[in-house]
Amino acid sequence: MGGSTEQGMFAEERKSRIIEFINKNEKATVTQLCDKFDVSRATIRNDLNELDEKGLIKRTHGGAISTQSVNYEMNFVDREILFQGEKEAVARQALQYIREGDCIGLDAGTTTYELAKLLTEFSRLTIVTYDLNIAAFLDSNTEHAVFLAGGEIRKHFHYLTGEAALRTLQDLYLDVLFLAGNGVDAVKGLTTPNLDTARIKKCLIANSRHKVLLADHSKINNVSFTKYADVSEIDVFITDTGADKKSLKAIEEKDVEVVTVEAGN
């Protein structure tokens, strides 16, 4: 077995990379994955079986195929373990765009949740969100003023949607909005699998002076079901160094400041 650069990889990180590899190539064999990640066939089989049970890939004889489609969306629990180091690094960089006293918006997502956990470093913020996990963390761990959109809970995703959520958000104006991304493409724009979620994102963008997109490299060149913004509508895009350089250049050409950070830094 080769792939020495993959040696020493933690199990959850390896599973994240397996998903990424399968989604990028649409399929993979056990042998290919053994060679790439330098682990035994039994380890790869166990990983694939676990990922298949969670619906993250589809197991086949001798390997696996991608489950990705334009309306595919992982739930919060499954997304939380993917690219954890990258998400933490992106969230840490995002702090540079927050000033004490700001009114900020936090989109629903696992990267924005990582950012919320870092807001204990501030003492006086006003935070608007429709994400239940973010609101609960901030309520328990900070003295910030937190506004949570009303609405219907989207099952398994831990956030609120619908007309009531939109009514809460449409009259609130933000200094900085931190967006989470399902799909980021220079040509096809910012996309998400859910129509109601897209409406909320559009509302937040319209009411924000400064827009910062947070997304790890796996979201780049992905296209989900519905578009909610052109790439040119955001001001800053923070991602990790695993991102495709050509794709980042195309985004920069849309007059977007692109910032890359290394996981673990």
Residues in CB range of 129: below 8 A, 6 or more apart: 105, 106, 107, 108, 112, 116, 135, 138, 146, 147, 148, 149
Give the C-alpha separation, 130 to 132, whole Å: 6
Q: Is the pLDDT assigned to residue 4 strictly greater than 80?
A: no
Q: Is the pLDDT assigned to residue 5 strictly greater than 50?
A: no
Q: Is the pLDDT assigned to residue 79 strictly greater than 60?
A: no
Distance from first CA to last CA of the chain, Å, rounded? 30
* 39-72 pLDDT tens trace: 999 999 999 999 888 767 888 888 988 876 554 5
Q: Are strands 152-154 and 159-161 parallel, antiparallel or unpaired?
A: antiparallel
CATH class of the domain whose range is 83-261: alpha beta
pTM (global) more than 0.85: no
Alpha helix positions (H), 26-126:
30-37, 41-53, 76-80, 84-94, 110-118
Q: Domain residues of the chain, as ranges?
A: 4-68, 83-261
Q: Is there a shared CATH topology between the 4-68 domain and the 83-261 domain? A: no
* 211-239 pLDDT tens trace: 999 999 989 988 888 899 999 999 999 99
Q: Is the pLDDT assigned to residue 264 strictly greater than 80?
A: no
- Please, are residues 239 and 220 in contact by the beta-carbon 8 Å criterion? yes
Average confidence (pLDDT) over 150-162:
89
From 23-27, 85-89, 135-139, the region with the lowest mean pLDDT = 23-27
pLDDT band at 181 (very low <50, low <70, confident <90, very high): confident
Average confidence (pLDDT) over 153-171:
91
Angle at 84 between CA 247 and CA 31, to 5 degrees: 75
Q: What are phi and psi of 18, to 5 degrees?
A: -65, -45
Q: Which position has the higher pLDDT, 26 or 126? A: 126
CATH code for the domain defined by 4-68: 1.10.10.10
Q: What are phi and psi of 35, to 5 degrees?
A: -65, -40
Q: What are phi and psi of 140, to 5 degrees?
A: -85, -25
From 155-159, 163-167, 185-189, 210-214, the region with the lowest mean pLDDT = 155-159
Strand partners, 106: 129, 178
Q: Is the pLDDT assigned to residue 80 strictly greater than 70?
A: no
From 3-12, 45-54, 95-104, 227-236, the region with the lowest mean pLDDT = 3-12
